[in-house]
Each structure stands twice: as C-alpha cells, then as structure tokens.
Amino acid sequence: MGNVARDPEIRYTATQRAVASFSVAVNRSWKDQNGEMREEVCFIPVVVWGKGAEVCERYLKKGGGILVEGRINVRSYEAKTGEKRYVTEIVADKIAETMTGYDVQVIYVTDAKDDTAVKEADLVLYGCSTMGLGELQDDFIPYYENRMTPALLKGKNVAVFGLGDKENYEDYFCWAADILSKKVTECGANLVCPPLKVDGEPDDNEAAVVAWAQAL
C-alpha cells in the first residue's frame, strides 16, 4: 500500500489490448545496526492490463492512496547502449483505490478464518454470485449460516453487491444480493445503500460499479 507516484500512462497492443503503467511510492522504515530509525521511499512499477488499465487511467491520479495486489514479474529489455537491463514490476490482479481514512482489505469467503476483519471494519462489503434458481454460491453458504450473526453484525455499516445472469435467469436475477441484504438487516446491521446488482462481468458494468462505490 502506498501512493501513486505518477499518473498512469496507457498504450494499446497490436491486438488493441490496453496496458497501463505507473509507479507506487512505498515508505520503508527500519532500524540500523546502531538502533537508529531509518526511512526510505521505494518506487515500485505497476502494470495493469485490459479493462483495469482503462479504469486506472481514468481514476488514478498522482498522490492518491492505493492498495495493489498482484504478482512480481521480472522482464528484460535492451537499452540504446546495447546493454541488457532488468525491470521488476507488479502485474496487478486487483487494485482497490483507498478512500481517505480507510484501508481496503479484500478477503475471499473461504479464507475468512476468523471475524477480526469484520469486527474492526468501519464498512463491510459482502458480495456473492447467484447460482441455480436464486441460490447463494456453494462456498458462501457455510459463512452465511454460521458466521453472519447479530453478535457480529449488529450496528455495523454494511453494503452488498451481487452478480447474476439477467438474460438467462431473469426471474432469479441477483437473488443472492437480496438474500444477503435481508440477512444483514435481520442481524441488526445498517444497510447503507441498496445492493449493487451486476449483470454479467463487472468489467462490462464499469460505470455502475464505480458510481455505486463512490456513493458508499
């Protein structure tokens, strides 16, 4: 987690796939051998592909806070001098631009081993796809039945989003979002806004997703 060090630059490959590149400034602190605190700023190159690249170009600005999750990639290129150089960069899988005063933590429901993150959060977002005839996805059911309780959620600020297929399952479109909304309300949580219902892939509904997130 750090701050955007320069505005994203976007280019397009021969197949018209978007690629955005920028760098993130990260502060590093440590004690030297004399026990004195030292600090330095590391600049980490970041590369984002596809729809995410266009979102980065549009919304990320120099100085803004950002959390990047991805994989380390090492590539090489030949400089004008003929020298071979190596670059280590982050290829971003997920980017969550942080809101002022907030740290954004993304946890898959199967990785939620305890309730610490929910208890400490100022705002909790639950998201789930709708499966079959209006059902929660299988891996969400144990968490829904055993962990979403008044003891955990009473008084918490919660928002819900869901994914569905309106064309083929119109009668059950995003029922998972409605099921979760009802559950958190019954548990005494404060549902801060109507649930976001995404038809198909989030990347194809960028404007709606961004507008909903900015309203939180």
pLDDT at 99: 40
- Alpha-carbon gap, residue 94 to 212, rounded angstroms: 18
- The amino acid that residue 23 corresponds to is S
Q: Tell me if 94 sits within 8 A of 48, measured CB to CB.
A: no
pLDDT at 178: 95
- The amino acid that residue 189 corresponds to is A
Can you give the pTM of this predicted structure?
0.55
Ranges 38-47, 155-164, 192-201, most confident: 155-164
Mean pLDDT of 90-107: 54
Tens of pLDDT, residue by residue over 179-196, are 999 999 999 999 999 998
What domains are defined for the chain? 2-97 (2.40.50.140), 109-214 (3.40.50.360)
Q: Tell me if 67 sits within 8 A of 104, measured CB to CB.
A: yes
Mean pLDDT of 136-142: 87
pLDDT at 76: 58
Judged by DSSP in three states, 85 sits in: strand
For residue 151, the 8-state DSSP code is H
Contacts 24+ apart (CB under 8 A), 174-182: 174/130, 174/198, 175/130, 175/134, 175/135, 176/128, 176/129, 176/130, 176/131, 176/134, 176/135, 176/136, 176/137, 176/140, 177/128, 177/130, 179/134, 179/136, 179/144, 180/126, 180/128, 180/136, 180/144
| Terminal CA-CA length for the chain | 21
Q: Does pLDDT of 105 surpass 80?
A: no
